[in-house]
Amino acid sequence: MRCASGEPRPTALSNDDRGAEVVPPKVTFVAGSRSGQSYCARACSGSALTGVTNVSGAIARACGLSEVGADDFATVSRLTDGTGRGVIAVLRQRWTAIERIGAHDLWLAVEGARSSGNLGSLMRTCLAVRARGVIAIGDTDAHDPACVRATMGALEALELARMPAAALAALARASRARLFGATPDGNHDFRDVSYGGPAVIVVGSERRGLSEPLRRACDVLVRIPMVGRIDSLNLAVAGSLILYEAFGHR
């Protein structure tokens, strides 16, 4: 099936055309969703444009077509920073609306994680300790491609929710759940508290840590003891230590 915009083909320039401006070909991609199911298409830049694959004509017509310039395509598909493969897929994100934290639930809440790889590694740990899911706070992006890869499939097995800090605090109060915030100046060694009952482990960004509103919302602030010149741990390591401690109490 050919894209509606047509497939660009390389052409030779005549002598009269050699002084004219050459307009780079555009890149076409298609994506859409119907009845909750996501459909995406693959496209390549320039004369290598292959059109739409894995999408029926009816779905393609329902979704429509969009065009972006070659520079925009390279940026969005992460060719410019070397982390992408030149493919764009637009997919429906999967989020869960949490009405209550269950009596035996263990959740991880992450505020403003900057490293997608760390977040993905934490999600793998969540699955390993039977946590119910992950709550994204602030600009935490659980669907970043690097995070999705780092989860190694754990993303599909966890519930994902997003909410501001105030909503998490209200949800915890309504569910009689406790929020355990991880911070270097916590009042308690993370090994000395009880994580029984409904619990949410809360970690902040690698640089700033927990925001002040979220710190105030936490019932307990815990720290991981360290010696020597090291004053912080990788977010994935620190979060995993506390998650496994909570797992041992359940």
Question: What pLDDT does residue 78 have?
Answer: 64
Structure tokens at 7: 């497939």
Is the pLDDT confidence value at 132 over 80? yes
Q: Whole-angstrom Cα distance, residue 222 to residue 236? A: 16
Question: What pLDDT does residue 86 have?
Answer: 61
Is the pLDDT confidence value at 93 over 70? yes
Q: What's the number of domains the chain is made of?
A: 2
Residues 138 and 217 in one domain: yes
Query: Are residues 162 and 138 in contact, defined by beta-carbon separation less than 8 angstroms?
Result: no
Please give the average per-residue pLDDT across 157-161, as a whole number: 92
Residues 238 and 195 in one domain: yes
Q: Which domain holds residue 207?
A: 106-248
Residues 131 and 206 in one domain: yes
CA-nearest of 203, 214, 36, 9 to 125 is 203
Residue 14, C-beta contacts closer than 8 angstroms, at least 6 positions apart: none
Is the pLDDT confidence value at 40 over 50? no
Percent of the chain's residues with pLDDT above 90: 43
* Highest mean pLDDT of the ranges 6-15, 138-147, 205-214: 205-214
pTM passes above 0.75 = no
Residues 182 and 66 in one domain: no
How far does Cα 221 stand from its chain's mean position? 26
